């Protein structure tokens, strides 16, 4: 038997650093959404655990000592076998949760393949990374704590999103270390945003507190944001997570798709569309 689970990208519409824990992890308040672009994780029955890589960014993970997918599999069942296949469509170390989404998709698929019951998936997920719990369900969510305290997002209107990555990997710990300034309080969010313009104007009052630090490490992020800000119909342009991927919001997915095609920098990875709708099967 073989099962495939989609691992959509995670985008932080805002990201406030609200405090710091004694172990060095930062307390956050963030609104995470999941665009309809991502990796694919296929799990198949096999006697031992293995991982194969494909897709445009698969080569970037070759030679990695212990991929998060293998760690996810072992955390679910120490000695069970499975052939894991990762189609890597998202740029790596890029602030849109690729590795976290892959780990979450792997946990979902292996639970089904192995018939695991009663596992504490959110706890296993958190152990793999602060962004993995929110990726388990891949539906819009407010993240607090270090990312593991999840609450429903406001009801979101239809909107479109462009993602751009300029091809530089940014290590998350360096960005947190380079961050200057104090803490930003959590914003008040409404229960519902009636349309994309209202959502964007509320989000403009929020920030990504890691953006300035990431630009000092990789100034090209500033160029990406400048390019996104000039696209026709753009409502908001901001960096996601610890970068370097930036996003721009539009009124509709079609507008976003058209805008993505207009970005002149050919070497930049880009995508335009709408949000991911998870299937009823739970995969
Ligand atoms: O949990 P994850 O492995 O994704 O985190 C990578 C690094 O990012 C951590 O080691 C830490 O330096 C930083 N981080 C943080 N606060 C968070 C999440 C991550 O300081 N809430």
Protein residue whose Cα sits closest to atom 14 of ligand 1: 25
- pTM of this prediction exceeds 0.95: yes
Q: How confident is the model at residue 282 (pLDDT cuts 50, 70, 90)?
A: confident
Q: State yes or no: pLDDT of 63 exceeds 90.
A: no
Q: From edge to edge, which strands make up the β-sheet containing 236-239?
A: 236-239, 246-250, 160-165, 269-273
- Site to probe by mutation for ligand 1, drawn from 26, 135, 217 as the one with most ligand atoms within 8 Å of Cβ, is 26
**Active-site residue among 39, 102, 131, 209?**
131
- Average pLDDT in the 157-169 region? 97
Q: Across the chain, where does the E strand assignment appear?
A: 2-8, 11-20, 26-33, 38-44, 49-54, 82-87, 141-144, 149-152, 160-165, 236-239, 246-250, 269-273
| Closest atom, ligand 1, to C-alpha of 100 | 4
Q: State yes or no: pLDDT of 25 exceeds 90.
A: yes
20 is catalytic: no
What sign for the dihedral angle of Cα 163, 167, 168, 169? positive
Query: What was the ipTM of the complex prediction?
Result: 0.95
One domain, residues 80 and 14: yes
Burial-class residue 55 by CB neighbours within 10 Å (0-12, 13-18, 19+).
middle
Q: Is the CB of 131 under 6 A from ligand 1?
A: yes
Q: How confident is the model at residue 249 (pLDDT cuts 50, 70, 90)?
A: very high
Structural domain that includes position 240:
154-273
**Active-site residue among 10, 29, 39, 102?**
10
- Average pLDDT in the 95-122 region? 97
Q: State yes or no: pLDDT of 281 exceeds 90.
A: no
Cα distance between residue 140 and residue 109, in whole Å: 21
One domain, residues 107 and 200: no
Share of the chain above pLDDT 70, in %: 100
Alpha carbon of 259 to ligand 1 centroid (Å): 32
One domain, residues 185 and 69: no
Of 151, 172, 206, the residue that ends a domain is 151
Query: How many structural domains does the chain have?
Result: 2
131 is catalytic: yes
Using alpha carbons, list the distances in angstroms from residue 185 to 40, 122, 150: 36, 26, 17
Alpha carbon of 119 to ligand 1 centroid (Å): 24
Torsion, Cα of 144, 148, 152, 155 (10° steps): 70
pLDDT value at position 257? 98
Of 104, 126, 151, the residue that ends a domain is 151
Token reading at 81: 């076998």
């Amino acid at each position: 038997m073989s099962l495939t689970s989609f691992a959509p990208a995670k985008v932080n519409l805002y990201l406030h650093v609200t405090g710091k824990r004694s172990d060095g992890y930062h307390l956050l308040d963030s609104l995470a959404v999941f665009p309809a672009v991502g990796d694919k994780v296929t799990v198949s029955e096999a006697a031992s655990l293995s991982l194969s890589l494909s897709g445009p960014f698969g080569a970037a993970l070759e030679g990695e000592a212990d991929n998060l997918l293998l760690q996810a599999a072992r955390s679910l069942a120490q000695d069970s076998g499975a052939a894991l296949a990762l189609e890597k469509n998202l740029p790596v170390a890029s602030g849109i949760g690729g590795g976290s989404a892959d780990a979450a998709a792997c946990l979902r698929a292996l639970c089904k393949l192995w018939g695991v019951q009663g596992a504490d998936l959110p706890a296993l997920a958190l152990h793999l990374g602060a962004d993995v719990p929110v990726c388990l369900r891949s539906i819009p969510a407010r993240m607090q704590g270090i990312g593991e305290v999840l609450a429903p997002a406001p009801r979101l209107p239809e909107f479109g999103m462009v993602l751009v990555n300029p091809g530089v990997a940014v290590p998350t710990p360096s960005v947190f270390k380079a961050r200057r300034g104090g803490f930003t309080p959590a914003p008040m969010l409404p229960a519902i945003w009636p349309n994309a313009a209202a959502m964007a104007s509320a989000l403009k009052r929020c920030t990504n507190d890691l953006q300035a630090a990431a630009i000092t490490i990789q100034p090209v992020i500033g160029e990406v944001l400048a390019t996104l800000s000039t696209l026709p119909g753009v409502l908001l342009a901001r960096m996601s997570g610890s970068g370097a991927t930036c996003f721009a919001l539009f009124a509709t997915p079609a507008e976003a798709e058209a805008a993505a095609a207009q970005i002149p920098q050919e070497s930049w990875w880009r995508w335009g569309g709408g949000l991911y709708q998870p299937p009823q099967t739970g995969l």
